């Protein structure tokens, strides 16, 4: 699962310290770090990206961290913002922006590690909530059908037809597996076979060359080509 983190501080030493702390923590995320040295630069770098976590210095020239944080919060309501500062006087303003934490510099690695554990728990809560509200939609002659991600077990291609097994029934539509994968969140859905796409949130276990999902008795075949992807995805679900 991808994790995008931004570090913004006008002192490169502080950026490097936080980056080094992040890299020292053993987590099962594909982490991408964005570095910025002013509020203006950060806003430009993330204008087309949804950030998971932002470590933001407050005392910066021109656009300070509080003003930068306000602009970020206007755009992304669920981004986790952590303020790093040498001063306690901005705590109220940071609270009003709904920051996750307000840390007084210098921060030790041990304190940072504990902070990140709390952040990962919060991220899981945010992603679980967002996933509950995501839908897969397709058009039929009768109109648009929208199915909640959390209700979908798998997509199955049989000949020229595709079926969707859900908690509320089985649906048929004309889309291909390729078109399905292009429209789904790949952090949640995984192609495990030439004819199957599964909801990884339903993973239970793997039995030889078949996948078992929670809530249904039918086992899903795992194609040789997709086996490593399945194992990697299952490992992330178990240990993230």
Which domains, from first to last, does the chain contain? 2-132 (3.40.50.2300), 135-239 (2.40.50.1020)
> pTM (2 decimals)?
0.60
Task: Name the percent of the chain lying above pLDDT 70.
Answer: 91
Give the pLDDT confidence score for residue 23 in this predicted structure: 92
Mean pLDDT value of segment 148-154: 92
Q: Are 210 and 219 in contact (CB under 8 A)?
A: yes
Which 8-state DSSP code applies to residue 224? G
Residue located via tokens 């292009």? 182
pLDDT at 94 over 70: no
Crossing angle of helices 12-24/109-133, nearest 10°?
Answer: 70
Q: Are 184 and 204 in contact (CB under 8 A)?
A: no
């Amino acid at each position: 699962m991808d994790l995008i983190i931004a570090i913004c501080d006008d002192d490169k030493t502080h950026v490097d310290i936080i980056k080094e702390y992040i890299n020292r923590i053993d987590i099962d995320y594909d982490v991408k770090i964005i570095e910025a040295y002013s509020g203006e630069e950060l806003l430009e770098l993330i204008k087309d990206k949804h950030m998971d976590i932002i470590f933001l210095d407050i005392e910066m020239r021109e656009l300070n961290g509080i003003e930068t944080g306000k602009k970020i919060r206007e755009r992304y309501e669920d981004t986790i913002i952590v303020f790093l500062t040498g001063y306690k006087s901005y705590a109220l303003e940071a609270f009003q922006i709904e920051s996750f934490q307000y840390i007084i510099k210098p921060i030790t690695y041990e304190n940072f590690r504990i902070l990140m554990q709390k952040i990962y728990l919060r991220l899981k809560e945010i992603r679980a909530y967002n996933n509950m509200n995501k839908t897969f939609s397709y058009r039929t002659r009768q109109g648009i059908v929208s199915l909640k991600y959390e209700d979908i077990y798998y997509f199955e291609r049989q000949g020229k037809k595709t079926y969707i097994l859900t908690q509320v029934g089985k649906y048929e539509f004309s889309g291909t597996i390729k078109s399905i994968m292009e429209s789904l969140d790949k952090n949640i859905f995984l192609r495990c076979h030439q004819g199957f796409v599964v909801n990884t949130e339903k993973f239970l276990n793997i039995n030889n060359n078949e996948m078992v999902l929670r809530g249904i008795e039918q086992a899903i075949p795992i194609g040789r080509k997709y086996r490593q992807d399945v194992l990697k995805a299952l490992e992330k679900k178990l240990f993230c």
